[in-house]
Structure 1
Amino acid sequence: MTQETHHDGERWQRRAQQVARGIRQRVLAHTVNNNGGYLSQACSAAEILAALYTKIMNLAPVDKPLVPPPFAGVPGPDNPNSFTGAIFHGPKASQRDRFILSPAQYALVVYAALIEVGRMDEQGLDHFNQDGSTVEMIGAEHSPGMEVMTGSLGQGLSQAAGIAMARKLRGETGRVWVFVSDGELQSGQNWEALQAMAHHRLDNMGIYVDVNKQQCDGPVCSVMNMEPLHERLASFGARVFVVDGHDLDALAAPAELEPDGRPLVVLADTDPCRGLPILQTRIPKLHYVRFVSGEERERYRQVLADFSAEA
């Protein structure tokens, strides 16, 4: 490794760490100010999204942070004004990557990531969950950073596979990156998609799974145990890596490997309370934070004040 390469790595690490911290801080602030939010998802996924947006994905640049436009209607041949949230990833091109968010409840976390990397204007969060806004709590194809409607979980992987296959057939060199939550993998549609990906040798796909072991109804293992998940995915033809989901180098390393004919799956082992230990008092109810009293909200407001003071 040259000295220049070492310095480049250090600069990327610092930048990604800042983005991850910013994601947590923005989602915490939003949660406090709105008396609710998907906070544990920000804690577990911050480094994954920071690595994707600052290192892994080859996205086109945007001229300036975009203000989310209002809803222009559903896509269709009779609606020339419709658009998708992929506009926040810059103009599409054959050599550029695509990003699919499968668990749409992570939308707020993705919005925070887009702001931190300069793709979305921070004032865009003022439109969150407002009538006529595209900045939805449960993201849709028009929401910032999204380009397909992924339904009631478990559908994003199939759609991403279709996009990846089309890109292969067209000879496009850009890859398709998918963010998946571990609880989603309880849905059978994902396993059908994995079989198809392996059969069609879609090695232009990279799947990052937030293995935070939590879902709406409690711990993933108590709802439907999927372990050993690594071996299951490998048996379906995936190229699987298990990494520390808060280690930026470990997250980025699998994406730098030469494709070998298999879809890449990175199981990122994460902590849903990472960076905000106050969340540990809510275990096992971590899926959505809704304050039960003014006193509890003030405790989180103080955490936010401390968090901001350390920046």
Structure 2
Amino acid sequence: MNAEIEWTEQVKKVAANIRLRGFRYVMQNNGGYLSQICSSAEMLAYLYCRGMNLGPSTAPMIPEPFKGVPGEGRPYVSGADYNGPKGPTLDRFIFSPAHYALPLYVALIEVGRMAPEGLAEFNQDGSTVELISAEHSPGAEVTSGSLAQALSVAGGIALARRMKGDTGNVWVMMSDGEFQEGQTWEAVQALANYKLDNIKVIVDVNEQQCDGPMESVMAIGSLEDKLNAFGAYAVDVDGHDIEAFDRLAQTDTKGKPLFILARTNPTKGVEIMETKRPTLHYLRFSSADEKASFQKAYDAMAQEV
């Protein structure tokens, strides 16, 4: 098997396992952020298996409890330790959609950066494995529970790294709902102004948000056209096409920040989720019969994977 086939098969396998493990957790806990798992599995698998140049994790396999805010006797704890050490040639990962925490933790497990037992701490009192990730949560470097903040932070990191002569990139994962925020557009304008082509952004364009389809809440029009007008290098792609991600990641954007607009299906691999439209943001079972139907779908997925 040649190297090109090897990496694509690895990414596809990890993506399938992200969906399976995430679906299992949702079933065991009577609901959860399943649509985000469905839509982001390929992009997280691609980032961790191929896209990002990261060193090995320097964090404990089972995340430690939250010890309090930094202060005397309480050192700063960073979830970025799960993404490895910081180095001039290594990439940095800034995770923006904090409500995608479950898919992120599952991805860390599937690539061997966190132990499966760590997921038992998810959304538990006193845990760093939070429902909405913070700067101490596994895989997260900044608090981004107020959406759109992380891109600004990433821009500052990218500018500082260029000034220092670092060759590593800054990768950012975002959700499309963040483009309803003014701070996002201010950040894009700054990235373009400083010609930060060492920043690469992948956006989950699943067209869904808490209150329903984005078009029914606040339409944002063509992200590709708007971002390019702001001076970025933005391209729409199939959000489950890992080869498309890779082509863009290796493109010379000539001084422009890269935005991979991954148009995803929020029910990908779990087609029974279609019955929950138009509200897909958080899965809640309406009856025992409905949960049984989802359980049957999970069992079928488990046999295939």
Normalized against structure 2, the TM-score is what?
0.97
Secondary structure in 2 matching 1:99: strand
For 1:256, the equivalent position in structure 2 comes to: 250
For 1:140, the equivalent position in structure 2 comes to: 134
**Would the alpha carbon gap of residues 221 and 160 (structure 1) be closer, same or farther in structure 2, given more than 3 Å must change?**
same
In structure 1, C-alpha distance between the alignment counterparts of 2:78 and 2:70, rounded to whole Å = 8
Out of 268, 280, 291, the position equivalent to 1:286 is 280
For 1:39, the equivalent position in structure 2 comes to: 34
For 1:16, the equivalent position in structure 2 comes to: 11
CA deviations on 1:208-254 (whole Å, 9 max, x unpaired) are: 01011111111112211111211100011101111111111011111
8 Å CA contact 1:60–1:89 kept in 2: the answer is: yes
Out of 212, 218, 221, the position equivalent to 1:224 is 218
In structure 2, C-alpha distance between the alignment counterparts of 1:241 and 1:75, rounded to whole Å = 40
In structure 1, C-alpha distance between the alignment counterparts of 2:235 and 2:161, rounded to whole Å = 24
For 2:52, the equivalent position in structure 1 comes to: 57
For 2:207, the equivalent position in structure 1 comes to: 213
8 Å CA contact 2:152–2:184 kept in 1: the answer is: yes
For 1:306, the equivalent position in structure 2 comes to: 300
Out of 71, 74, 77, the position equivalent to 2:69 is 74
Out of 144, 155, 160, the position equivalent to 1:161 is 155
In structure 1, C-alpha distance between the alignment counterparts of 2:253 and 2:38, rounded to whole Å = 30
8 Å CA contact 1:64–1:118 kept in 2: the answer is: no
Aligned length: 305
Give the C-alpha shift of residue 73 in structure 1: 2.0
Out of 228, 246, 269, the position equivalent to 1:275 is 269
Secondary structure in 2 matching 1:198: helix
Any runs of at least 4 consecutive aligned residues in structure 1 with deviations exceeding 6 A, and if so which? Answer: none
8 Å CA contact 1:73–1:79 kept in 2: the answer is: no
The one-letter amino acid of 1:183's match is G
Normalized against structure 1, the TM-score is what?
0.95
The one-letter amino acid of 1:196's match is A
In structure 2, C-alpha distance between the alignment counterparts of 1:147 and 1:64, rounded to whole Å = 13
For 1:124, the equivalent position in structure 2 comes to: 118
Give the C-alpha shift of residue 65 in structure 1: 7.3
In structure 2, C-alpha distance between the alignment counterparts of 1:175 and 1:115, rounded to whole Å = 23
In structure 1, C-alpha distance between the alignment counterparts of 2:52 and 2:217, rounded to whole Å = 33
In structure 2, C-alpha distance between the alignment counterparts of 1:235 and 1:62, rounded to whole Å = 38
The one-letter amino acid of 2:83's match is H
In structure 2, C-alpha distance between the alignment counterparts of 1:291 and 1:19, rounded to whole Å = 27
Q: What are the ranges of 5 or more consecutive residues in structure 2 without an aligned counterpart?
A: none
Give the C-alpha shift of residue 258 in structure 1: 2.6
The one-letter amino acid of 1:147's match is E
Out of 162, 171, 174, the position equivalent to 2:165 is 171
RMSD between aligned residues: 1.4
* Stretch deviating more after TM superposition (249-258 or 270-279): 249-258
Give the C-alpha shift of residue 72 in structure 1: 2.3
In structure 1, C-alpha distance between the alignment counterparts of 2:111 and 2:27, rounded to whole Å = 23
CA deviations on 1:149-198 (whole Å, 9 max, x unpaired) are: 01321211111111111111211111111111001110000000011111
For 2:93, the equivalent position in structure 1 comes to: 99
Give the C-alpha shift of residue 62 in structure 1: 3.1
**Would the alpha carbon gap of residues 80 and 260 (structure 1) be closer, same or farther in structure 2, given more than 3 Å must change?**
farther
**Would the alpha carbon gap of residues 65 and 20 (structure 1) be closer, same or farther in structure 2, given more than 3 Å must change?**
farther
In structure 1, C-alpha distance between the alignment counterparts of 2:90 and 2:253, rounded to whole Å = 16
